Structure 1
């Protein structure tokens, strides 16, 4: 852990050599120990090299979480090939754009994505079916023979590890390029949270989400076992956690909410837990308090961005009076506040609120092929040190804990997934009935937040609200769909023409 850099694929090899029979991965139907995982990674890497992929090239994976998904991801890393993990809930058009943007040479998929991969396949990309379904060539048929060995690749920290897409319904999805060095930084902090060879991590969030990956990779890098649930189910989660004596997990706040509200929660033995993690969405203080009271083990909240640039950590079990905050800057993270003009605010001014910016060893290289978007996301201090802008407004208290007040970019976080109103607005503007539109996020007991649209109809148009809502949701990805749509005579705007979304939120609350 003290080394400047070690490739995660090399650590899996190390565990395979020293403890080959220790469990590494399992889902509902398959399981691999470290010997089998290492051998499968070799076959994947050798197959990619056979097909002409070199270090720095990319593949895409659009599938439900599974042992084979994880093995292909890790095998690609061994070959120095970057992975673009994509959501099966994307629209066909956005999925095709992301695959093209990543320059993915091969698409790995399964039946869960069968309805959306058509345009990508029409573009000529080779598709391999992880589950043996009809979406492509079967994985077994594609793989090199058992015992195949790839040509050695000395992975470098600056090489792209993965490309995670934060947007996908507009014509310009943003691919966040994370390097091997960034993932190594996540592994290095793993020892602090007691990841070890006897760790059993239960993950019910998808492998295409950075939320999942920040726990998935440290578990395997430090020799533990990962249990994958392709779809979250509260009772199923509790039963599996008790049966497998789970020690670690990552859940988004809405999942904690559903688990704590389940009538069978207190009947399950969860005493094996060491740490529970959360990120990706506002985690209300009352819910944190309930988790601390009824669920054994530490509770850790991470605040940060997929783009990286610094993390705040709230060790809730150690700071029960700070549950309204997102914690303090993590070791190695430099978190600061800037005003509207980009000037740094005084570090010890507890009255100063500003946009949160951060620097750390775990930062994205940039947005793939979008240097202008990358520059927009960056802020540099007086010494030239590079920070990533979060778009969030916050304030530090006297103890150095950060409280968040608002999201400047009006991003909606629903069920732990980021939804950009501009993406939804762009889809709605494609309908002939829409003259103007604004989308906001409103509180939802089920999802944390959910999107609602306000639409100004074109003069003389007679389209019904329900009809337009159905049309829009048919165009959107599953995680983006609108909960409500309201017609409005005119959008409220400021003197400079900015839509006053606060007023729209107030209308929903009436």
Structure 2
């Protein structure tokens, strides 16, 4: 099946609607023509420094023939320019967690082998130290910011480099749907892994280049026609260094949307986020669980907002508690919340809507495999299985043949990815999520899914957030411990009240044996659970 590529589609949309808004941040507005010109200039900079794709295609699914561009940036126009400009030069971009310190950066760069690094000036000291530890010194493109940090030796000022580059298309370089886009996992359950997506697959999968009936859009003219009709304005609060932010932004652009960033981009400021939504009349907004939904509810309760155009909130990567979801829908009654379950490796596998929906609806390509991962389950099979995804999926993990082989399987002649979600296939064809295998705790011979216990705890009065981890125990081997963050001043419910609340909805063996309280956040910048921080509090 022929597929489109990001660079070609973005150019074609810009040719059709050159003067329409493409990107908004703070007091700046960029048209599609302006973004196209800037991404062409970046492509020239990369190409003129010898970066691109090698003469031979990779023979193994864990190999990349491209040079790689690291994006070590907060949200902003340069991040999206980096993604699209890289593809125009046939360079594979990859995300870098801006919270990483030297050793973590060195490990990541050793794995990803960047030929170029785009970074905000505030990160220059760390970049300067880490590149000295690499075998190959990459091209450094420093993006000025409020820090005022000076250029590293040998680095190029990003704006100066773009100004000196040609504004026309890059001659002799033809992007392809098979070109790679690398998404590094968050590393919450191990070292980060670079997921190798073909850009054509990424566009048909997580970026949503599909018709309403789920069939793929592969004709350039049809894709541009859809984009021309679009009136979508997507507000991106989650960091682009994770899939939720990148996919929301690039998916918006593939559909002709204007991408809007809030004023504050180095953390979540819910009041600013909602003020931006109101001012820019956004129509769609991604969320990341309670870490986003609870502050947004508080911001909406603090003052009225005119959010009539906001029709869809897409939640991924973490759950929203039912009572928080109900309150958010009360505050924005004309909108809907769509929960999507997926991963860096699978994209969005299943979806659900509504505050009380108990299960998910399979997306195209979704399947449920048996516990031994050798056969497909059918609706109504009682076995607890694995969520799998076929169709438009990644090739594998960069440089890791063993992990590629264990995650990407062939079942009944179809290649599937199994990212680690445990599910049950209900008789009505919906899928019931139980938790990730990486957060499953074996206590006294019983398996406990941390997410199930966390959802119960977050639903109790006086609890703002909760994570559940295992701790060594002489009696149980591993015992269940909950780290809770009270909703207000003080310690919140006592241990007896928490146990009683859990007992209403959980079997006895699932109830935490101990509770640890903290006033600190239990979430990473993207809203995902910070299990490392939770474990540090219980050991």
TM category, shorter: 0.7 to 0.9
Confirm or deny: 8 A CA contact 2:386 2:421 kept in the other structure. yes
Structure 1: which 5+ runs fail to align?
426-435, 447-468, 489-510
Query: Secondary structure at 1:104's aligned position in 2?
Result: coil
Residue number in structure 2 paired with 1:150? 170
Partners in 2 of 1:421 and 1:98 — Cα distance?
Answer: 26
Of 112, 117, 131, the residue aligned with 2:144 is 131
Partner of 1:245: 281
- TM-superposed CA distance for 1:335, in Å, is 1.5
The answer to whether 1:95 aligns with 2:105 is yes
Q: Give yes or no for contact 2:314–2:337 (8 Å, CA) kept in 1.
A: yes
Whether contact under 8 Å (1:285, 1:324) holds in the other structure is no
Query: 2:202 — aligned with what?
Result: 183
TM-score (normalizing by structure 1): 0.76
Q: Distance in 1 between matches of 2:84 and 2:380?
A: 45
Q: Is the 8 A contact 1:93 1:119 kept in 2?
A: no
CA distance in 2, matches of 1:440, 1:135: 47
> How far, CA to CA, are the matches of 1:117 and 1:310 in structure 2?
33
Which residue in 2 is equivalent to 1:370? Answer: 400
1:352 aligns with 2:389: no
Partner of 1:461: none
1:233 pairs, out of 246, 265, 269, with 269
109 and 279 in structure 1: CA distance in 2 versus 1, 3 angstrom threshold:
same
**Mapped partners of 2:142, 2:479: distance in 1:** 39
2:345 to 307, 313, 318: 307
Aligned pair 1:290/2:290, yes or no?
A: no
Partner of 2:61: none
Q: Distance in 2 between matches of 1:9 and 1:15?
A: 10
Q: Deviations over 1:48-87 (max 9, x none)?
A: 1100001221110101011122112211111111101111
TM-aligned CA distance change 1:487 to 1:335, over 3 Å: closer
Whole-Å separation in 1 of the counterparts to 2:258 and 2:159? 24
Asked if 1:324 is matched to 2:358, the reply is yes
User: What is the TM-score with the length of structure 2 in the denominator?
Assistant: 0.72
1:279 aligns with 2:316: yes
Residue 432 of structure 2 aligns to a residue whose secondary structure is strand
Inter-partner Cα distance in structure 1 for 2:82 and 2:538? 47
Query: Which residue in 1 is equivalent to 2:428?
Result: 399
For 1:439 and 1:104, locate their aligned partners in 2 and report how far apart those are by CA, in whole Å: 41
1:60 maps onto 2:60 in alignment? no
Question: Is the CA contact (8 Å cut-off) linking 2:8 and 2:175 kept in structure 1?
Answer: no
- Provide the aligned length of Structure 1 versus Structure 2: 433
Secondary structure at 2:95 match in 1:
strand
Cα distance change of structure 1 residues 485 and 184 upon mapping to structure 2, 3 Å threshold: closer
Counterpart for residue 482 of structure 1: 533
Q: Distance in 2 between matches of 1:479 and 1:88?
A: 15
Provide Cα deviations, 1:325-384, integer angstroms capped at 9, x if missing partner.
2x2111x22321321x334364122533222222231x1211100010111212332x23
Does the CA contact (< 8 Å) of 2:95 and 2:184 recur in 1?
yes
Q: CA deviation at 1:311?
A: 0.8
Structure-2 separation of matches of 1:264 and 1:224: 29
Q: Tell me how far apart the structure 2 counterparts of residues 358 and 258 of structure 1 sit (CA, whole Å).
A: 33
Q: Secondary structure at the match of 1:217?
A: helix
Greater Cα offset, 247-256 or 127-136:
127-136
| Equivalent position of 1:495 in the other structure | none
**1:178-221 CA distances to partner (integer Å, 9 max, x unpaired)?**
11122220444465499753211100111111111222112112
Which residue is equivalent to 1:428?
Answer: none
